[in-house]
């Protein structure tokens, strides 16, 4: 596509060094850290270079408007494209930034063809999508839609005890303005987020770009196993009440159930008490992240893991208590918008873009849950690895993503 590589390459290259750890090749762009603030500067520069009107909203999200500020957008008028710029600790280069870079490059491509938008078009970069610093994923979009309470958000703390309120103030933003952004939400007629695929669906389908059908339901649960602390040398194996034994049996059962249901179950966080090498532990807290293709399957998975935990506790003479911590229902993207984009991206031979679900959360999911018509485009990830320095996409596939986004703008807005 004309103009695509010429815009994409310098945008991508100029962002690439920001927040990169030379020893791992991974990225540390935690929300409102110096590296992430540099990404924000990069966004502003890209917007200004393109004569786009740039603003930071009350929740720290960035917007670059083609055709004037959002205030000019009447209800449902705006087409918004974009993603996020922050990363997890030692994350990949593509998760988030690919969608923002592609959005600017797609606007360039539409302009290069001499097309003007008939509705406002904006590039958005949502704040703290990963939740890697303050613990809540998609905080910027959740605040904007009212899904995250502003008081709770202001009090969130990072590992060094800095509150989100303080981090916002240090970044020159006013934390007292956090909260649902009614008028802005009403102005968005469609949000299209392009994202690197965080799996190998497109590899198996042999396609560079795909369209998302929806986002899997997702829950987080805290399992607390309680037993009895005792001496690691003098306590006979038969006399122990060891909660690690109960948890480990539960973890194996969770993996087995997830495999059976083609779902996902992960115990990625453990807190062992007292956590000493020479003591039988007294308590284990373990956090289960569970996701499945539909809510019924997710409930079945949780039922199996709960039963396995109760049985493991019985066998080890410990107790278990399960507390749900968060639940995100399944997200179904807007059907009409999906059809329009799918139609626009059909090849001349009538080949449709592959459609695939995702098990990862996104700002697009938050906006969809708030009633904004939303769609997602995925770009092939050869290894499927994400949230790691090994995350990768071929340049040719990234350019195919820009071309798809360009066509999307043309169909929806020009």
3-state SS, one letter per residue, for the chain = CCCHHHHHHHHHHHHCCCCECCCCCCECCCCCCHHHHHHHHHHHHHHHHCCCEEEECCCCCEEEEECCCHHHCCCCCEEEEEEECCCCCCECCCCCHHHHHHHHHHHHHHHHCCCCCCCCEEEEEECCCCCCCCCCCCHHHHHHHCCCCHHHHHHCECCCCCEHHHHHHHCCCCHHHCCCCHHHHHHEEEEEEEEECCCCHHHHHCCCEEEEEEECCEEEEEEEEECCCEECCCCCHHHCCCHHHHHHHHHHHHHHHHHHCCCEEEEEEEEEECCCCCEECCEEEEEEEEECCCHHHHHHHHHHHHHHHHHHHHHHCCEEEEEEEEEECCEECCHHHHHHHHHHCCCCCCCCCCEEEECCCCHHHHHHHCCCCEEEEEECCCCCCCCCCCCCCCHHHHHHHHHHHHHHHHHHHC
Among the residue ranges 47-55, 95-103, 142-150, 318-326, the one whose residues contact Zn ion (CB under 5 A): 95-103
Residue with smaller CB distance to Zn ion, 99 or 306: 99
Q: Does 96 bind Zn ion (CB under 5 A)?
A: yes
Q: Does 193 bind Zn ion (CB under 5 A)?
A: no
CB of 201 to Zn ion, least distance (A): 16
Could you tell me the two tokens for 63? 């917007």
Binding mask 44-83 for Zn ion (x = CB under 5 A): ----------------------------------------
CB of 384 to Zn ion, least distance (A): 14
Residue with smaller CB distance to Zn ion, 144 or 309: 144
CB of 299 to Zn ion, least distance (A): 27
Residue with smaller CB distance to Zn ion, 102 or 245: 102
Among the residue ranges 87-95, 232-240, 320-328, 402-410, the one whose residues contact Zn ion (CB under 5 A): 87-95
Residue with smaller CB distance to Zn ion, 95 or 128: 95
Among the residue ranges 68-76, 96-104, 156-164, 173-181, the one whose residues contact Zn ion (CB under 5 A): 96-104
Residue with smaller CB distance to Zn ion, 95 or 397: 95
How many residues bind Zn ion (CB under 5 A)? The answer is 2
Residue with smaller CB distance to Zn ion, 196 or 341: 196
Subset of residues 157 to 176 that bind Zn ion, contact rule: CB under 5 A: none
**Burial of residue 390 (number of CB atoms within 10 Å: 0-12, 13-18, 19+):** middle
CB of 272 to Zn ion, least distance (A): 31
Residue with smaller CB distance to Zn ion, 94 or 221: 94
Q: How far apart (Å, rounded) are the C-alpha atoms in residues 76 and 355?
A: 26
Residue with smaller CB distance to Zn ion, 95 or 242: 95
CB of 407 to Zn ion, least distance (A): 22
Residue with smaller CB distance to Zn ion, 57 or 95: 95
Residue with smaller CB distance to Zn ion, 240 or 387: 387
Q: Does 197 bind Zn ion (CB under 5 A)?
A: no
Task: Give CB contacts under 8 A, 24+ apart, made by 168-174.
Answer: 168/32, 168/60, 170/32, 171/32, 171/37, 171/60, 173/56, 173/60, 174/58
Q: 376 pairs with which residues across the strands?
A: 193
CB of 206 to Zn ion, least distance (A): 24
Judge whether 305 and 265 are in contact, CB under 8 Å: yes
Q: Does 365 bind Zn ion (CB under 5 A)?
A: no
Among 95, 128, 181, 242, binds Zn ion (CB under 5 A): 95
CB of 126 to Zn ion, least distance (A): 9
Residue with smaller CB distance to Zn ion, 110 or 123: 123
Among the residue ranges 55-63, 88-96, 349-357, 398-406, the one whose residues contact Zn ion (CB under 5 A): 88-96
CB of 354 to Zn ion, least distance (A): 20
Of residues 184, 22, 193, 27, the one with CA closest to residue 101:
193
Can you tell me which residue has the tokens 């929300």?
Answer: 31
CB of 389 to Zn ion, least distance (A): 15
Return residues touching Zn ion (CB under 5 A). Answer: 95-96
């Amino acid at each position: 596509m004309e103009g695509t590589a010429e815009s994409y390459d310098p945008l991508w290259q100029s962002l690439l060094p920001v927040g990169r750890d030379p020893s791992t090749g991974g990225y540390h762009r935690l929300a409102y850290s110096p590296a992430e603030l540099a990404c924000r500067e990069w966004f502003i520069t890209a917007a200004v270079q393109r004569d786009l009107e740039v603003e930071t909203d009350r929740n720290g999200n960035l917007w670059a408007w083609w055709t004037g500020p959002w205030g000019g957008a009447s209800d449902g008028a705006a087409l918004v494209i974009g993603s996020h710029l922050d990363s997890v600790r030692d994350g990949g280069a593509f998760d988030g930034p690919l969608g923002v870079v592609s959005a600017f490059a797609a606007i360039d491509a539409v302009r290069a063809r001499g097309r003007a938008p008939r509705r406002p078009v904006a590039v958005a970069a949502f704040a703290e999508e990963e939740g890697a610093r303050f613990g809540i994923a998609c905080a910027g979009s959740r605040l904007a839609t009212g899904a995250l309470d502003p008081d709770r958000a202001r009090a969130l703390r990072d590992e060094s005890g800095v509150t989100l309120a303080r981090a916002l103030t240090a970044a020159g933003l006013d934390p007292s303005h956090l909260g649902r952004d009614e008028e802005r939400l009403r102005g968005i007629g469609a949000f299209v987020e392009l994202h690197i695929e965080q799996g190998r669906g497109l590899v198996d389908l042999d396609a560079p770009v795909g369209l998302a059908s929806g986002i899997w339901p997702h829950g987080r649960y805290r399992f607390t196993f309680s037993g009895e602390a005792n001496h690691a040398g003098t306590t006979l194996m038969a006399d122990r009440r060891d909660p690690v034994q109960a948890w480990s049996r539960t973890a194996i059962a969770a993996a087995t159930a997830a495999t059976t249901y083609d779902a996902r179950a992960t115990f990625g966080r453990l807190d062992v008490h007292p956590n000493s090498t020479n003591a039988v532990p007294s308590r284990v807290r373990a956090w289960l992240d569970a996701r499945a293709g539909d809510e019924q399957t997710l409930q079945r998975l949780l039922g199996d893991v709960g039963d396995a935990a109760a049985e493991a506790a019985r066998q080890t003479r410990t107790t278990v208590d399960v507390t749900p911590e968060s639940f995100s229902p399944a997200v179904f993207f807007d059907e009409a918008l999906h059809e329009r984009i799918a139609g626009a991206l059909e090849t001349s031979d009538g080949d449709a873009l592959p459609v695939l679900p995702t098990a990862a959360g996104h700002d697009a999911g938050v906006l969809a849950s708030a009633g904004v018509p939303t769609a997602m485009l995925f770009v092939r990830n050869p290894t499927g690895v994400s949230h790691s320095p090994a995350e990768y996409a071929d340049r040719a596939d990234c350019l195919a993503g820009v071309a798809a986004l360009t066509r999307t703008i043309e169909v929806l807005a020009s």
